[in-house]
Each structure stands twice: as C-alpha cells, then as structure tokens.
Chains A and B, each alone.
Chain A
C-alpha cells in the first residue's frame, strides 16, 4: 500500500528558501502510472496546487508561483522534493505531497489518490 511522508523544517525565515522532501514507500516512484505532486493549504483556507513531477524529471508548476518553485525527484531514494524560494508570510501553510494516478492507460489526466499527512511550515523571522 502506497504511503507518502513529508519532511523538512517547520520554520523558515522570510526571503529564504523552503525545502521539503516527500518519501514514498510501498511502491516505486518510477511507476509509469503516477505523477507526484505538492499541494498546500494556508491556515483556515482551501487547497492550492503547487506542481507535479514524473520520475523522468518532467515537471509542471503552477504559474501563479512563477519561477519560485522547483520540484525534483531522486529515484534512488524513492523521494521527490519541493523548493520554494523568496518566501513570505503568505507561504505559511500545511504542505502536502500526493501521488497522482492516471485516469487510464495513455491518459494525461490525473487524480490525487494518496496523500501524505502534511507538514506545517511557518514563515517568520
């Protein structure tokens, strides 16, 4: 059974870079059926899609976060990571990683079928 676990610092200073890692267990990050993604949720608010990555390194990032987002994958460790640069208080949120299952073989549409428990990141000096 696929499981995902986020890890990383819970406190980041303004203007610095937020770095999180998602460790995948119970399955291979190199599966052809999955993308791997990051979602965040500011306190008391809704869900925001950040971006996703395929095991080959192909990425799709939310343009609303412009060039601040970098998502990478390490297949040898079965992990993928998020870096968000130049953070401000508005980036304070719970960050989730998730597996994105394809609707069907050959489809390029995905749904988020397994989520990590989430990790809280606070941006504050």
Chain B
C-alpha cells in the first residue's frame, strides 16, 4: 500500500494568514495527488487534482504543488469559510488501492 502522511494533523491560523499543508507519499506517485476539503457534517469537496490543477469553481487562493513524494496545499489568504479539514489522496496505484492522508484540521486561532 502507498501510505499518505499529512502534516500537521491540526493547525490554528487567523483570517488573512497564508497556510501550507504538506502531504508525503511512502513512494513516488508522480503527480497523481488530489486535495479535498471537508466541513463538519458535509461531504468532501474536490479542490485540486493532479497535484496542481484547480478544480472548476474553486477560488484561486487555493493552490497545490509537488511531485514524486512531497506535495503541498497552500491557501494564500484565509477566509472564514476555509476553516475545515483537508485530505490528500493518491491515485497512482491501482483503483483498488487508492488511499487518503489522515487529514489536517484547520482551526481558527
């Protein structure tokens, strides 16, 4: 299995801050890395696919980068609606073996 490890597991930040979340794969996954946002009681929402491609309708303050084993999700200037849990997910392996990171909870400071 490809293990996905996110850091930090939780993060406190203020509105207007620039925030970076990291995701590390246990082996190279090229650029087959996706990011999702989940708010309490809601389904996850796709933000970024293929490591850096912004999903249609997602604000440009969200960006992704990386390839191989190390990836980052950056929010350039936090808005109140951005406080949520973020998950990375790899699509490199067979469709039977897709895996998610454990999540990063972004909280208001």
- A35–B95 alpha-carbon span in the complex (Å): 9
Q: How many A-B Cβ pairs are below 8 Å?
A: 66
Q: B102 touching A46 by the CB < 8 A rule?
A: yes
Q: B50 touching A103 by the CB < 8 A rule?
A: yes
- A103–B32 alpha-carbon span in the complex (Å): 9
Q: How does the 8 Å CB contact mask read for A94-125 relative to B, with 1 for contact and 0 for none? A: 00100011010000111111111110000000
Which secondary structure characterizes the binding site on chain A? strand
User: Of A62, A113, A118, which is within 8 A of B96 by CB?
Assistant: A62
- A116–B94 alpha-carbon span in the complex (Å): 23
CB within 8 Å of A: which B50-82 residues: 50, 55
Q: How does the 8 Å CB contact mask read for B34-45 relative to A, with 1 for contact and 0 for none? A: 101000001111
> Which of B's residues lie within 8 Å of A, judged by CB?
32, 34, 36, 42-46, 49-50, 55, 87, 89, 91-92, 94-103
> Which of A's residues lie within 8 Å of B, judged by CB?
35, 46-49, 51-52, 60-63, 96, 100-101, 103, 108-118
22 cross-chain CB contacts under 8 A: A46-B100, A46-B102, A46-B103, A47-B89, A49-B97, A49-B100, A51-B95, A51-B96, A63-B96, A63-B97, A100-B95, A101-B49, A103-B49, A109-B92, A110-B91, A111-B34, A111-B89, A112-B36, A112-B46, A113-B49, A116-B43, A117-B42
